[in-house]
Structure 1
Amino acid sequence: AIDLKDVSAEMWLITKLAMQLLWAFRVSSKWIIMLLRLLMFVLFLLPAFLRVFYFWLCSPRVLKNIRYGPRGRNLLDIYLVPHPRKNQPVVVFLSGGAWIIGYKAWGALMGRVLSAYGILVVMPDYRNFPQGLLPDMMQDVNVAMQWVFDNVHTFGGDPNNVTWIGQSAGAHIGACVLIEAVENPSFAAWQPSRLRNFIGISGPYNIHESMEVFHAHGLDRQVFAAIMDHNVLPKATAALFPSMHLFHGTADRTVPWTSSQSFVDALVRVGIDAHIKFYTGKTHTDPIIEDPIQGDDPLLSDILAIIRRSSPAESPQPRPDHLQFRPPGAMLPAMLVHAARRVNPF
């Protein structure tokens, strides 16, 4: 049964996030055009979004609002696999949202797909601006990661087979937390070396480079600067880092692909095992929204391959050819997805 109290609370939070986005764009003359394009983008993909929202809201496989810390936004969702087993591979997915409108439900499509492939998915929420600045976001995520290592086994997950995925701002926050945890042992109670992989998707790792791009998209540089004031610069012992994998679309107008290239170059220079792959012609949202909706998802294949290679021999591995359940194919006609790509403001 649907809990109307939970539904109303979630809808109120989403409304507040939308208002925060409008407030952030308030000083920009470009925000009206960007907003209209965003509304058209959502309208074209709305049937798929509604299906995913219904799954997130009603599926017994989605455990919502599990508390991981003391603050109001310290909640997470867990996506259970269709046929649970012990020691399942775990993905912690940190969604983006320009550090302003990030929310755990934004990754519901990824949670739906990855869990269908036998992966237990954990999606933490965290404070956004103006509730907090980057250090506050980092602290929330840090506490969430400790919760994962302490508790994921009770849901069938393997705490020794955890892959951390961040998208856009989530990739930046995740990388900041990971580097801080390695360089400052007092920052985190969990050990970064316990992670199998870190996967960054379309991440803005060079903040000063990204500031002007976000400003051109309508997020004023003064608001951007108020949120944070440093880059991701790894200096720590390479052996303490997990395997690092970065993915970026070459047609990304929101975060240039050079951001991921510069970051992987910096990682390699200090001896960290780091890899990068570019998706030709893909935008900022293609890998996590349009591609899964269309049923043609190269990012999913790459994620599964990484988890499969790094999983211990005794762990159940995600093998699409052995699944009892397969994720659906295309959720919308290609015509609608193509139209959404044409108006996509990202």
Structure 2
Amino acid sequence: MGWILVTIAVLAVIAFAAWRAAFAFGSADTLNRLDGFYSRGQGATQVAAVQYGDNAQQRIELYVPETASGSDTGHPVVIFVHGGSWNFGEPEEYTFIARTLGDLGYATALVGYRLVPDGEFPAMLEDSAASVRWVVDNAAKHGVNADAITLMGHSAGAYNVLMTGLDRQWLGRAGLPDDTIKGVISLAGPADFLPLDSDSTKAAFGHVDPLESTQPIGFARGDGPPLLLLHGSMDTTVYPRNSVNLDKAMREAGGVSEVVEYPEMNHAQIIMAYARPFEGDRKVIDKTAEFLASVTQPSSATEPPSAPVQAAAP
């Protein structure tokens, strides 16, 4: 029996190392494949795979829960935008997000967007808004509820969804009302990252004047969608102060926001927590489920968020 436990432990270490290597080289595909070996309660079925623009990177893959029935108006939907420093990433590498959210009863739209150099600011925000437009226009025929849309993203993708939710102009340019988005979930999102100090941020934003117009914290507002800001305290890629500062700005503006830090997690582990091999005690998934229920179910929408946790060192 002991050798079985040792084998399992060794395989877990190998899987973790493989995922970390894949993440470092710009691919979540390894994690996605590992997750696919695990059984699911409901899982998710792909019902659409389309381009929403002329660029091949402007893609959407739409998934709905396999067995659960939605409400009379369809499944609430999470639009997920991947990370990758605005330089790399593919929506199909994040099917594990759709499977996990499918288990919770949510449809998922996995969104790809123009990457640098085509995707320098504001292209990534135009694309995020265009993806919301596509979901709204196509929701009914795929059993999705266009009145229950939440945005979610990791790292660069979290930046995209924060700006799309907070800066009114992007949804407005897509012909959508300000209240289209019911909530935003940011996983390790860059929200207050001036001065630009990396090649990736300089490539995506270095041409903008003034640079302050690129920062989500500058668009914190009392009437913005509720925010859930999840961050690993060990994150040295996007420091936790990004989420802490945005949460403070939102609350000072009279908005609804909650920041949760996970002391043992780094930049990669916050997204890994949605995959079966690394979900652990499900505290990240459970927090996500709690927030989604609060913004998509009217009966619980009035529940106040819990107090913010202590900020990590910058």
Q: Specify which of 290, 298, 313 is matched with residue 283 of structure 2.
A: 298
Q: Which residue of 2 aligns with 1:337?
A: none
Within 5 A, what are the aligned runs for 1:131-142?
131-142=118-129
**Are residue 232 (structure 1) and residue 216 (structure 2) matched?**
yes
SS of 2:229's partner is strand
Identify if the C-alpha distance between structure 1 residues 287 and 233 changes in structure 2 by more than 3 Å, giving closer, same or farther: closer
1:245-264 superposed matches below 5 A: 245-264=228-247
Aligned match of 2:154:
167
Letter in 1 for 2:163: C
1:223 aligned partner: 203
Check 1:308–1:225 CA distance in 2 against 1; reply closer, same or farther (3 A cut). Answer: closer
| Structure 1 residue 298 displacement after superposition | 1.6
Asked if 1 retains the 8 angstrom alpha-carbon contact of 2:22 and 2:29, the reply is no
Task: Tell me the TM-score normalized by structure 1.
Answer: 0.68
Q: Does 1:187 align with 2:173?
A: yes
SS at match of 2:101: helix
Post-superposition Cα deviations, 1:223-255, rounded to whole Å, max 9, x if no partner, equal 35547643223447522x211111111001111
SS state at 2:216 partner? coil
Aligned-partner residue type, residue 172 of structure 1: Y
Give the equivalent residue in structure 1 for 2:256: 273
Q: Say if 2:152 and 2:184, in contact at 8 Å, map to a contact too.
A: yes
- Residue 310 of structure 1 is aligned with which of 295, 299, 306? 295
Question: Which amino acid in structure 1 is aligned with residue 125 of structure 2?
Answer: M
Q: For the structure 1 residues 75 and 225, does the alpha-carbon distance in structure 2 shift closer, same or farther, using more than 3 Å as the test? A: closer
1:318 counterpart residue number:
none
Q: 1:72 to 1:194 in 2, by over 3 A?
A: same
Q: Is the 8 A contact 2:97 2:274 kept in 1?
A: no
Residue 77 of structure 2 is aligned with which of 62, 86, 90?
90
Instruction: Identify if the C-alpha distance between structure 1 residues 156 and 277 changes in structure 2 by more than 3 Å, giving closer, same or farther.
Output: same
Structure 1 gaps of 5+ residues are: 1-36, 316-346
Q: Aligned Cα RMSD in Å?
A: 3.2
Q: CA deviation at 1:69?
A: 2.9
Cα deviation per residue 1:1-53 (whole Å; 9 max; x = unaligned)? xxxxxxxxxxxxxxxxxxxxxxxxxxxxxxxxxxxx735978xx987543447
- The AA in structure 2 aligned to 1:113 is T
The 1:136–1:311 alpha-carbon spacing in structure 2 relative to 1, beyond 3 Å, is closer
Contact persistence 1:197–1:243 (CA under 8 A):
yes
Show CA shifts across 1:146-179 (max 9, x none).
1112212221111111111111111111122223
- Give the direction of change, closer, same or farther, for the CA distance of 1:71–1:245 in structure 2 (3 Å limit): same
Matched-pair contact (CA < 8 Å) for 2:83–2:153: yes
Q: Does the aligned pair in 1 maintain the 2:150–2:183 contact within 8 Å?
A: yes
| Cα distance in 2 for residues equivalent to 1:78 and 1:226 | 33
- 2:114–2:123 Cα contact (<8 Å) kept: yes
Aligned letter for 2:184? F
- TM-score normalised over the length of structure 2: 0.74
1:80 to 57, 64, 72: 64
Specify the SS of the correspondent of 2:173: coil
Q: Which runs of 5+ in 2 are unaligned?
A: 1-19, 301-314
1:47-66 equivalence runs, <5 A: 49-52=32-35, 61-63=45-47, 65-66=49-50
Matched residue, 1:150: 137
**Equivalent in the alignment of 1:329:** none
Which amino acid in 2 is paired with 1:268?
R
SS at match of 1:164: strand
1:120 paired residue among 100, 107, 113: 107
Cα deviations across residues 80-104 of structure 1 (Å, max 9, x unaligned)?
2111524212111111110100321
- How many angstroms does 1:126 deviate by? 0.5
In the other structure, the counterpart of 1:3 is none
Aligned length: 268
Q: Say which structure is richer in helix.
A: 1
